[in-house]
Every structure is written in structure tokens, then in C-alpha cells.
Chain A
Amino acid sequence: MTSQVDQSEAVGGSDGEGQGAAPPPSGGRSRPAKPIRRLDRVIIRFAGDSGDGMQLTGDRFTSETASFGNDLSTLPNFPAEIRAPAGTLPGVSSFQLHFADHDILTPGDAPNVLVAMNPAALKANLPDLPRGAEIIVNTDEFTKRALAKVGYAADPLADKSLEAYHLHKVPLTTLTLEALKESGLARKDAERAKNMFALGLLSWMYHRPTHGTETFLRQKFAKKPEIAEANISAFRAGWNFGETTESFAVSYEISPAELPAGTYRNISGNLALSYGLIAASQRSGLPLFLGSYPITPASDILHELSKHKNFGVRTFQAEDEIAGIGAALGAAFGGALGVTTTSGPGVALKSETIGLAVSLELPLLVVDIQRGGPSTGLPTKTEQADLLQAMFGRNGEAPVPIVAPSTPADCFDAALEAARIAVTYRTPVMLLSDGYLANGSEPWRIPEVEELPDLRAEFATGPNHTLEDGSEVFWPYKRDPQTLARPWAIPGTPGLEHRIGGIEKQDGTGNISYDPANHDFMVRTRKSKVDGITVPPLEVDDPSGEARVLVIGWGSTYGPITAAVRRVRADGGKVAQAHLRNLNPFPANLGAVLKAYDRVIVPEMNLGQLALLLRARYLVDAQSYNQVRGLPFKAAQLADVLFAAIGTLEGDEQND
């Protein structure tokens, strides 16, 4: 593992050394001759009070890093309370960023650098820090009262408790106030810029381009130019502090990553998902209608889509979750691409309407940004415990296709895939993202519009059935023999007037039917339709071809599992990996894949929901590895699990 404390030094002195070294933000001055070390990757965590602006700070550092060309992965972690009690452990908000000169998969297990804005931030995050990590603390906040508030009997900055770390004691507040003394701002307002001071300092340490942040601040505070200037001054002061102070003897360079050729941007899961929905609307020719009720962590999709009315996007903030999906279904009946966005508790409320959509056989996207449950659970933390709810959470036999993105950028493609299934097969589709994907971000190679799938849908335009007497009629439940999809005849189409509803329908005519044999047939047909959806085969990554252990996951565990697999292989272990994106139906080759390995490990951020399905469906002894801590897995932790599985297999052999 690389960390910045064990890197070889590459002493530099000139401004331009290294690709893309940042110019001083204030311009003009040359960089002093401080040593520069090259690193291949760094993990930084910004931590402070939930009012300290840590998410913004992290976002800005991420943008700078993205525009510099590193690969990156982020993990925002914040409390559900908007302004949790100041200075307390539960009030700590943090933002972790992993960036590298090569492709990376996770926000990182353990930070190399912690920026702690107060004692609570230090105390809450210290257990995650490896020995030798750098800690930058705002000493101004280490008052007796603040220390006592989080249970520090003695000042950890003064005793020897942080000896194992590389501690930078910086009076961030004082320095910020000093930098802004000419600004005319009240002390309280000036103090709030201390996060930008910290950002400036870190930007210096890691040679980040600074122009984007200054532009961002000018735009963000366009109506309050004095605040914009104060933030920019603090940001520059932080940069200059790093450049001149002796406390920071070295700065670090992480070269841009070698990614596949293309144009890139940084993107979060919720933004990618929003864009995927707009792209699906454009590629299908169906106007997008979003019916939604605000809920964490899904609301950002509502916010984003509401900005794009010029794409013909209608966003409807409903009175409740049920009305959100109801309106989307009503719009789908009228020929729109109907979408509802929510999180687990909202899915519970929408269940009956999803069942109606199953019965009506209309296209509908149900986007579940999963969070910790049950009930209100952990609104701002991640979990993937809604799989069985998505799969079975309705009355009656109500099969619903399920698609789960694996990375923030994959949310874009997953939205298109979900729309493809919904429109082609006339069915509601569950799109299972989660809080980690939603708020996390990574570089995304921007696709050409022409590369995107063609999702054009055809509405019914005329009769589709001939009665015995020769008359031509329209039967709303006469199916396409290939897909088993029923025709989508939208109001306004003459001659195709028809009535549909949640009561069981006669095959073909769609008229109410309580006939036992017909019901049995319709239940099985709806199931066959979903089972028959074409999904890509499961790809298995087994470079040696000799692995006996398969690790299989779904959704956002892709990053940590893949990182763990790399570690195992780097240490000589043999392990195969597969990741499910289509969870209903499963890929046709899944059973064969599972049976090809002696041991199947299923890591999930739930108590074994996919494992339950695999065991039930394929009679394989899938072994669960579970965690429900509201946080993604750590790669090291999963690597240990995989090593143990490989080890027990070998152990079994020795015992034979």
C-alpha cells in the first residue's frame, strides 16, 4: 500500500515541474523551493461540524482533482440533522476523497490525511486513521469547553496521544480572520470562510488547480460579492500559508490517471441517474414525467430534473409518496415515460401502486435510492437492504424487473437499461441505487449521444384482432408473441378506447374476469414476461482460470469487492469475480457460473438478501458476508474474507 509517508521523494523546486502543477492562485509569485513528493494515490478526509461546510469543501477539492485528471472516488458522510448540535460527535460531517494516478474503485479504507475542524471531528475520525497519517487540526476550536463536550479529559494536541501521527497544528480560525480583517465583514461571517482557508491549504499541498474554485465562489455568491471575495481571500490565504509556513515542509504530486481516451467529467450517482432519465426520454421520444415526494437521499434527482424543463421534463412534487407514483402511472397511461423517485420507506408506501402497474402492464420506473432501514433508519447512510422489498414487496404474484447500478457513473447506464426494459416489456421496473452511489462521485467518460441505445417505443395505432365475425377490434391484452408485452394504446388514439384496471383481466380482451383458469394463466403469463426479459449474460472475471472461489455482489459493493479482488490477486490468491446488475430476471448463465466454483461468497450491505435468492433459485451453498453499518465495505476487510475462503478450501483439501 502506498501512503504519502512511505513515498520516495522527488525533490523539485521549479514552478512547472510535474504535469499540471498548480500555479499560485494569486498569480505572479513563484513557488519556493520546498520539496515535492510524488505519490500514486492519496485519501483525504475533511471533517467538521455539520455547519462547517465540509461537504462543500470536499466537493470543491473533488472538482479541482477531477479537472486535474486524477481518477477519484468520494464518500460524503453526514448526519441526518441539518444543523446537529455544534461540537458534538453525532454532529460531525465528513467528506472522504480518494484520488490517484491510476484507476481506483473505492473512496479508500483509511485516510492518509485528516482535516479536523474541531475536537469532535478529531475524536470521531481518529479510529479510522492508520499510524503515520497526517492530521491537520484547527487549534482555535480546541478549547476546554469543546474538549469537554466530546469527553477529552486532556488536550490531545498537548499530550502524547497523537505521537503516532504527523500532526499539523493550524489556528485556522485566527488565520482566516486575520486574512479577512480588511474585508469589513462581521467576525461571524468572516469565520465561516475558514473551510475555504483549509481548502486553499490542501490545494497547495496537492498541487490542485485553483481557478475553478474561484470561479465557483464568484458564481455561488454572485448576489453577495463581498462574501465571494472573502471566501476567495481565505482560499488564497490558505494556499499561501502552505507555501510559506514551515509546518508544511513538503507538497505532493499525484499525476493524472491513465484512463481510456475520451472527454471526462466528475459525476455523482444521483446526477448520473438524472441525466440517464433525461437521455432515456430523448432516446425513446417519450416526454419525461417525474412524480416524487422529497426524501433523503433521493431528493436531488427531483431537484435536478426540475431544472431541465426545456427538455420537456415535467416534475410534479406530490402530496405524498403514493401520489408521486400515482401521477407517474397516470402520465404513463397517457404515453409519458413515467418515473417516481424515492427511498425505501417511500417504496413501502408505493407498493400498492407498483402492483397496479404490474397489473396494468404500463412502463414505469421506480427509483429507490436505498438507505439504512428499517423504518426511518439511517436516512443519510447507505445500505442495500431493499432487494427483497423490490423483489417481493407487493401483494399477490407481482414480479418486477430489477436493475442495480454498480458505481456512481453507472447510474447513467442503469437508468437507460431500466427504461429499455420498462418500455419494451410494458412493466414497472425497480432501479436500486443507494446512498453511497447517490452522493459519491467519480470521473465519467461522457458518451456520444449516438452511442446511447435506441429506445423508441411504438404506440398502438389500430385494431390488433379479428373476431370470428370478421370485425376488426382492439384487444388491450393481446400480447406480442416475442416479448409478451401488451400494446400501449394511449388516449387520443381513435378506435382504441379501452378500460384497464387492477381487477384481473381476461387474456386478450382485458375485460374483467374472475375465471379461475384465466387467473392462473394471467399470473403465470405476467411472470413469464418478466422471466423472459433479455438481459446481458453475467461476465466472470477469472484471469487465471484456476480460481475455486467466486465472489459475487450486486449494486454499490462493486468498488470494494473489485478492490479486494485486486488485493487478493496481488498477493497471489486466486479468486473469480462476478457482479450482478440485472437482479430480476437474473442473467441466464448465472446458475452455471455459480456451479462452476467450489465456494461462492456474497458480500452484501444487508443480512444476506441476494444470498437467499441465489440459494433458493440455484441450490448453491452461497456464503454471506454482511455488514449494515451505513458505510461501504472496506477493501481490506473483504480481502481478508476472500483469503479466508481460499484458505478453508485449501485446508479442506489437506484434511481429505
Chain B
Amino acid sequence: MTEAFRSLKLVPKAESPQSAKEFKTDQEVRWCPGCGDYAILAAVQSFMPELGIRRENTVFVSGIGCSSRFPYYMNTYGMHSIHGRAPAIATGLAASRPDLSVWVVTGDGDALSIGGNHLIHALRRNVNLKILLFNNRIYGLTKGQYSPTSEVGKITKSTPMGSLDAPFNPLSLAVGAEASFVARTIDSDRQHLQSVLRAAAEHEGTALVEIYQNCNIFNDGAFEVLKDPNTRDEALIRLEHGQPMVFAGQGVFRGADGELHVAEVTEANRSEVLVHDVHHPSAARAFALTRIADADTLHHTPIGVLRDVRRPVYDTLMADQLEQAASAKGAGDLAGLLTGADTWTVS
């Protein structure tokens, strides 16, 4: 049993160690063969025992899309809801049940297009939710239209001459929406994925984890440059809190204009390489980090935790108000409430 995760302090602890197998259901997994979702599912199932909480106090809530089938395969409580609304539904659940560990599974269409409003409001409220955003930069379940994270000019069934609209950067959006925890990981790197899940679970409040996920049917190889052993070391910036941001002989520096940029690390500039600080109070640093990757080539993509700051948690605040009201006014007295102040009697 590990030490209790901070965000799970109100969740009942498991009585005995759990195994990944206990988190699997008897339902046949119905994603396309080769889908990145399989790797994420396996990583999550084998990670869950680490939390050390009762399985029945864990809930997965999803919206609609390929990723949103996820809850059916987790032997916890779960709800496969409607398109885009999972953060709203999970907010109601988490806000009324502080004894639960609530996870949202969503995709780039679900979270950023139809459900964009719920996502940003969950983030600003800082509800105790862990949101796993599977980003494959395409619509899979509707068979291959471009998504709000697809690159401009994407040729798809709905955009035969190329898509016209500029994509969202999900992590920039999250930081802009006052997210207290923002991270990115990759479906195929189980160790890294689990390290990010661990940090997210530890975080009190909303954690947004963007998972780059391969759709081998409609957008195959979208993140190949980040996975191919020949290119990934040059392309990925593996963020570690308290460590200088260096990779493949290069480093992250702050330029004279205040912007972050990548440059070769030399003896002369080695001391100027920025040290990653996930707890940096300014959102500007995290925002700049979300912008450092080249949107077209994905070069210099930071993965790991970009931001992890402490901020009051919505559900705790809500529970506190209930307690305050009860201690100030006493527990609710229904007869007194119904009677009120101005009455008259007819005999």
C-alpha cells in the first residue's frame, strides 16, 4: 500500500492490495485493432491499484467518441454519457460525493468541440476531477472528419480541399482556463503515462492530462515523430520538476524578448538553461511552455507535467459552506422553514 494520495484523502482505502486484473471487466473491448486506446486502457488498469483506494469508490465518466467507451472496460462504477457533457456530469458527482475518485475520459472532439464549454468551466472551478483527454487529432467514431486539434489544411471526408480552421492547443487552452494541473503524455510510453497519472492523482483539484493517442484508421502516425526511436529524442522535451529542460544537446532558454525558445546547449550558456518548476505561481511560464512545440512538425514537444499549483478545490469549498451554514444556523428544521416569520391562525 502506498502513502495516501493527497487528492484522495476523503476516499476510503482498500483493505488489501489490488491487481490490474481486478480493474478489468468481462466486456469485450471493441476498439479497432491497433488503436492507441488499448495501450492507455492497459496502463490505467495496471496503475489503479497504486491508488490504494476501494474500487467501488472509483468512477469513470465519459462522453461520446471512441475514447468514451473506456468506462465499460473499467471494473469500477462508470457512466458513458452524452457528447461533450462528461465534465458537467462528473462535476455534479464529485461535488456531491467527496468520498469518490472521479475520472473523466474524453477525446479531442468531445472535450474541445461539443464540450469545450464544460471543460473550461471544470478547469476554472478546480473540481476534484482527473480528466484524461485522448487527443488523436481526428474524429474516429464518425469515421474520419477533422477535429478541433487537426492541423490546418487537413484533407478528410468533410474537408476534401483541406480544413480551414486553425486548431486549438489543448494545453494552452487549459492554462488560459486557469487549470491548476496540466500535463501531456503519449499512449505508447506506459512508464511515462503512469508517472503522469500518478502526478494527476496526487493533485487536488482538476487535473487535465492530454494523451497523444494514435488512430491507426483515420490519422495513423500523427505522433510518429514523437515515438520513432530515430526522431523522438530530438522531438521530445521530457519535463522533470527541478531539472534543467535539456534534450538531445538542446535546452530551453528565455530570450531577450521574454519568450521561451530552444537552442543548442554550450558551455557558455549551460547555466542559462531554464529549470522546470511545475509549481511556478505564474501561469505565463506554463503557457509559454505549451507554445514551445512546432505546431507543424511537433518538434520540441514537452511531455510530463507542465503546471501543478495549489488552488482551492470547488467541492471542498462547497462542503465547507454547508458545514458553515449548519454550524451558524443549526441543522435544517423543516417545520421551522415551512412556518417562516409571518403567519396567522384560523381556528
Chain A, Cβ-Cβ closest to B27: A511
0/1 per residue, B72-103, Cβ < 8 Å to A? 10111111111001001111111111011000
Is B256 an interface residue, CB under 8 A from the partner?
no
Cross-chain contact B91 with A330 (CB below 8 angstroms) = yes
Minimal beta-carbon separation of B129 from chain A (angstroms): 11
- A 103-124 to B, binary, CB cutoff 8 A, 1 in contact else 0: 0000000000000000000000
Closest chain-A Cβ to B9's Cβ sits at a distance in Å of: 16
Specify which chain B residues have a CB less than 8 angstroms from the CB of A326 in the assembled complex.
81, 85, 88-89, 91-92, 118
Bound-state Cα–Cα, A264 to B335, Å: 13
B-contact 0/1 string along A288-320, CB 8 Å cutoff = 010100000000000000001111111010111
A492 sits at the interface (CB 8 A): yes
Q: Is the CB of B82 within 8 A of A308?
A: no
A495-503, A537-545, A644-652: which lies at the B interface?
A495-503
CB A255 to nearest CB in B, in angstroms, measures: 12
- Report if A199 contacts B (CB, 8 A): no
Supposing A330-B61, A331-B92, A353-B82 touch, asked if A446 and B338 sit within 8 A by C-beta, the answer is yes
Question: Please, how many angstroms separate the alpha-carbon atoms of A453 and B89 in the complex?
Answer: 30
Contacting residues, chain A, for B306 (C-beta < 8 A): none
With both chains docked as a complex, state the minimum distance between the C-beta of B345 and any C-beta of chain A, in angstroms.
5
List B contacts of A501 (CB < 8 A): 71-72, 78-81
What per-residue 1/0 map shows which CB atoms of A351-389 lie under 8 Å from chain B?
011011000100000000000000000000000000000
- Contact partner of B100 among A67, A309, A316, A492, CB < 8 A? A492
Complex contact B88–A323 (CB within 8 A): yes
In the complex, which range does the number of interface residues on chain A fall in? Answer: 35 or more
**Residues of B contacting A308 in the complex (Cβ-Cβ under 8 angstroms):** 325, 332, 337
- Please name 16 further chain A to chain B contacts, defined as beta carbons within 8 Å, in addition to the given A310-B331, A319-B117, A360-B79, sorted by A numbering: A259-B346, A263-B343, A263-B346, A264-B344, A264-B345, A282-B334, A310-B330, A316-B95, A330-B90, A335-B97, A356-B81, A356-B82, A492-B56, A494-B55, A501-B79, A512-B27
A314 engages B75 (CB within 8 Å): no
> Is B263 an interface position by the 8 A CB rule?
no
Check: A85 CB closer than 8 A to any chain B CB. Answer: no
- Contact, CB under 8 Å: A331 / B325: no
Asked if A336 is at the interface of the complex by the 8 Å CB criterion, the answer is: yes
Q: Which residues of chain A are near B76, meaning CB under 8 Å? A: 497
Q: Are B338 and A279 in touch, CB under 8 angstroms?
A: yes
A498 to B340, CA, bound (A): 44
Instruction: Determine whether the beta carbon of B332 is less than 8 Å from that of A492.
Output: no
B117 pairs with A449, CB closer than 8 A: no
Q: Quick check: A447 and B338 within 8 Å, CB to CB?
A: yes
When A334-B100, A499-B80 are in contact, do A494 and B342 touch as well, CB less than 8 Å?
no
State whether B96 touches A289 (Cβ < 8 A).
yes
Q: Which residues of A come within 8 Å of B, CB atoms? A: 63, 66-69, 212, 256, 258-266, 275, 278-279, 282, 287, 289, 291, 308-314, 316, 318-320, 322-323, 326-336, 338, 352-353, 355-356, 360, 446-449, 491-503, 511-512
Q: Given known contacts A212-B342, A491-B57, is B77 in contact with A498 (CB within 8 Å)?
A: yes
Q: Assess A323 versus B121: contact at CB under 8 Å? Given A312-B332, A330-B89, A333-B93.
A: yes
Asked if B318 lies at the interface with its beta carbon under 8 angstroms from chain A, I say yes
A-chain residues with CB within 8 Å of residue B81 when the two chains form the complex: 326, 329, 356, 501-502
Q: Considering the chains assembled together, what is the distance between the CA atoms of A477 and B211 in angstroms? A: 34
Q: Is the interface of A mostly helix, strand, loop or mixed?
A: mixed
Q: Which of chain B's residues have a CB closer than 8 A to the CB of A503?
A: 80
Min distance, Cβ B85 to any Cβ of chain A, angstroms: 5
Note all chain A residues with C-beta closer than 8 A to B90: 330
Contacts of B88 in A (CB 8 A): 291, 318-319, 322-323, 326-327, 330
Cα A264 to Cα B82 in complex, Å, equals 46
* CB-defined A-B contacts under 8 Å, sample of 21: A258-B346, A262-B345, A263-B344, A263-B345, A264-B344, A322-B85, A323-B91, A326-B118, A327-B91, A329-B81, A329-B92, A331-B96, A332-B92, A333-B79, A334-B97, A334-B100, A356-B81, A449-B334, A492-B54, A493-B56, A499-B79
Q: Which residues of B contact A260 (CB under 8 A)?
A: 346
Known: A259-B346, A279-B334, A449-B334. A314 touches B322 (CB 8 A): yes
CA distance A278 to B331 in the complex (A): 13
Known contacts: A262-B346, A491-B77, A501-B80. The answer to whether A331 contacts B95 by CB under 8 A is yes
* Contacts known (A310-B329, A326-B89, A449-B338); A492 close to B344, Cβ less than 8 A: no
Are B339 and A319 in contact (CB-based, < 8 A)?
Answer: no
Contact residues of B between 41 and 86, Cβ < 8 Å to A: 54-59, 61, 64, 71-72, 74-82, 85
What residue of chain B has the Cβ atom nearest to residue A443's Cβ?
Answer: B344
Given contacts A331-B96, A501-B79, A511-B27, contact A309 B91 (CB under 8 A): no
Question: Across the interface, which residues of A come within 8 angstroms of B269, CB to CB?
Answer: none
Cα distance A506–B78 when bound, in Å?
A: 16
Pair A491/B25 contact, Cβ less than 8 Å: no
B344: which A residues are within 8 A, CB to CB?
Answer: 66-69, 263-265
Distance between Cα atoms of A316 and B92 in the complex (Å): 8
Using known A-B contacts A492-B57, A496-B56, A499-B25, determine if residue A264 contacts B346 with beta carbons closer than 8 Å.
Answer: yes
Q: What is the minimal beta-carbon distance from B338 to any residue of chain A, in angstroms?
A: 5
Contacts known (A262-B345, A275-B338, A499-B72); A291 close to B92, Cβ less than 8 A: yes
> Is B347 in the interface zone, CB < 8 Å from A?
yes
Complex alpha-carbon distance, A632 and B328, angstroms: 42
Is B169 located at the chain interface by the 8 A CB criterion? no
Chain A nearest CB from B250 CB (Å) reads 41
Inside 8 A of A360's CB, which chain B residues have their CB?
79
B59 touches A491 (CB 8 A): yes
Binary per-residue interface labels of chain B (226-255) against chain A in the complex, 1 for a CB within 8 Å, 0 otherwise: 000000000000000000000000000000
Q: How far is the CA of A567 from the CA of B160 in the complex (A)?
A: 71
Residues of A within 8 A of B297 (CB): none
B96 touching A287, Cβ below 8 Å = yes
Q: Is B321 engaged at the interface, CB distance under 8 Å to the other chain?
A: yes
Contact for A265 among B118, B334, B343, CB less than 8 A? B343
Report if A266-B342 is in contact (Cβ < 8 Å); known contacts: A314-B95, A499-B72, A501-B80: yes
Minimal beta-carbon separation of A368 from chain B (angstroms): 19
Given A353-B82, A498-B77, A503-B80, CB of A512 within 8 Å of CB of B95: no
Q: Is the CB of A499 within 8 A of B121?
A: no
Q: How far is the CB of B126 from chain A (nearest CB, A)?
A: 14
**Once the chains bind, are B100 and A491 in contact (CB under 8 Å)?**
yes
Complex: A448 Cα to B121 Cα, angstroms: 42
For the complex, give the distance between the alpha carbons of A599 and B289 in Å: 75
- Point out the residues of chain B lying under 8 angstroms from A496, CB to CB: 56
Chain A residues lying within 8 Å of B329, measured Cβ to Cβ, are 310
A494 CA / B82 CA spacing, docked (Å):
26
User: Complex: how many Å from CA A275 to CA B336?
Assistant: 11
Contact mask B301-334 → A, CB, 8 Å, 1/0?
0000000000000000010011011101111101
Q: Nearest CB to that of A329 among chain B residues? A: B89
Distance, CA A318 to CA B99, complexed state (A)? 22
Q: How far is the CA of A319 from the CA of B124 in the complex (A)?
A: 11
* Cβ B80 vs Cβ A323 within 8 A: no
A331 touches B343 (CB 8 A): no
A625 to chain B, nearest CB (A): 35
